[in-house]
Chain A
Amino acid sequence: MANQKAFGNEQLMTLTKVFCQTCHFDSVYILAALFTDTASDKCRQTTQTFKTAMKKPRTILFLATCLILSGAGCSTMHVAPITSGSADSYVEHEQIDGLVVGVRPMTDKAEVKETFKIDLLDKGLLPILVVAENKSPTVSFIIPREKVGVLDNATGITSASQRKKVTSSSGEVMANTGAVLVGLGGYALPLAVIGMPLEFTGMQKQSNASIIEFNLADNEFYTHTLGPGDKAQGFIYYQLPKDAAALSNCHVVAEAKNPATGETTAFDFPLNINLPK
């Protein structure tokens, strides 16, 4: 009997934990421990205390408020799709042989944070929107992603989009943006449920990081062939020099190819911007 009792405690909790975490049911694990009397001996006293407390209306109201607040901070982040105007609506734009290319460096911190849900400028990354529109009635243009970048006149090096500078090494930094959202749910709770908001905090962080990374990649400029009337848009991400206050010796460059003739067309936009502090 003692052995069977042991199975109903430690081993069952382990088994339940494995199942629940496999299915992403971390909170179910905690609730199961509370309400099925299968909690380990270590939790049993706490569970009894919690059950007694749950009989009091004040406690129920308090817990309900905590759950609502923590739940409100634990929704999956949503990012609105990026829209752009016509290529010639941007201050920096150029038309050659019917192909119009417009560029817009995004230097407003609030706009960057709203668009990407992370302050890229703070991370040393400048997002530059590139919009290409084919106004030729007969010719197609291939614009390879590796031919769209930033030329540094000082070094003569053209850098293609550097998204991975943020997503590969700063995953934890991105993930921390989730911590603010669940801060409201992180205050004192009865011991038996203290694990719940902490679990949500971890899941929220992971979720936010995955969505931010996806958003950056999804909105990057990829290789396209623009037929007559077609339009393509996307960002290139430029790694700023350390402690840079302004960019005055760089150009956004792009090259398009006419597949029928093999001719290439080059676009060049000088960058002359002050960076926010």
Chain B
Amino acid sequence: MNPMKNKLFVRLCVFGSALASLLLAGCASVSNAPFTGYTAQEKIHLKVAVNITDELLAAKNDKWNIPIGEFIATNAPVLAQNTFDEVIRVRNGQVPATENVGAVLTPKVAYLTRTIGATGGGESIVDMKVEWTLSDPKGNAVWVDTIDGRSSASTRSNYKKVARAALEDLLTRSQQAISSAAAIREFAQKEVVSKNSEGAGAGQ
């Protein structure tokens, strides 16, 4: 056998397997299942409609192919179910008249980016900010806040995994912010009192 050919073949195999292993490490698939790792806590007594808008669904980062709008649309109802007593899902603010909701929760993407490192091993950050609005059935804002989710890894890492970690960070922080918001708890209490009064009035 031609020794030159043999030498080349060996080097090809070594080099190719090294590249393949590095490629595969970066190409593992990422789960699209909704995040469920929320903190178990007392839920807010409120029936909430999670409002998924066309604007939200269209939000994405074309450069890095991160469909953040779809991520949030998939996860917002699960987040709400872990935070409020009762949750329904609506589109573009269309709440059915038969559903007596206490509030409407609308997410909106405020910002999304991915930085890149100066080298393949340099730090790359995925940062996403979502503005959550909780409004009463008449559309008056009760609480609005912009929550930040972030994750970082080396630039050559699978950026979809990093984006998934940033999303989970954002959802966890969102649950904390909503659960601890004085304005929301105060509003929910008023709703309960109001419904009890209506019920007592009807009974009489």
Contacts and interface: CB of A to CB of B under 8 A. Distances in A.
Partners in one complex: yes
Interface of A: 1, 4-5, 8, 12, 16, 19-20, 22-25, 27, 32, 36-38, 74-77, 140, 142, 144-145, 178, 200, 203-204, 206-208, 210-211, 213-214, 217-218, 222-225, 227-228, 257, 259-260, 262
Nearest to A144: B144
B127 A76 contact: no
Given A76-B122, A223-B131, A23 B22 contact: yes
Given A224-B145, A227-B181, A74 B119 contact: yes
A201 to B, nearest CB: 10
Nearest to B146: A222
Nearest to B180: A227
- Top 7 A-B residue pairs of the complex, sorted by shortest distance between their CB atoms: A76-B122, A222-B146, A227-B182, A24-B120, A140-B183, A210-B115, A207-B118
B117 A207 contact: yes
Kindly state the interface size class of chain B when it binds its partner.
Answer: 35 or more
Interface stretch (B11-19, B54-62, B168-176): B11-19
A39 B98 CA distance: 73
Nearest to B4: A5
A166 B122 CA distance: 25
Contacts of B141: 142, 257, 259
Given A24-B156, A36-B15, 20 more contacts: A1-B2, A1-B5, A12-B12, A24-B155, A36-B11, A37-B7, A76-B119, A140-B182, A142-B141, A142-B143, A208-B118, A210-B115, A213-B113, A214-B113, A214-B127, A218-B148, A225-B183, A227-B180, A227-B181, A260-B183
Contacts of A213: 113
Interface string B111-145: 10111111110110101010100000000111111
A262 B143 CA distance: 12
Given A142-B144, A144-B144, A227-B183, A37 B118 contact: no
A223 B147 CA distance: 9
A76 B120 contact: no
Contacts of A19: 19, 23
Given A142-B141, A214-B115, A222 B123 contact: no
Interface in B1-48: 2, 4-5, 7-8, 11-12, 15, 19, 22-23, 26
A130 B131 CA distance: 19
A25 B26 CA distance: 13
Given A37-B11, A211-B115, A259-B140, A225 B181 contact: yes
A163 B130 CA distance: 18
B83 to A, nearest CB: 16
B110 interface: yes
Contacts of B2: 1
B186 interface: yes
Given A22-B23, A223-B144, A16 B122 contact: no
A217 B143 contact: no
B120 A223 contact: no
A16 B15 contact: yes
Contacts of A76: 117-119, 122-123
Contacts of B148: 218
Nearest to B26: A23
B142 A259 contact: yes
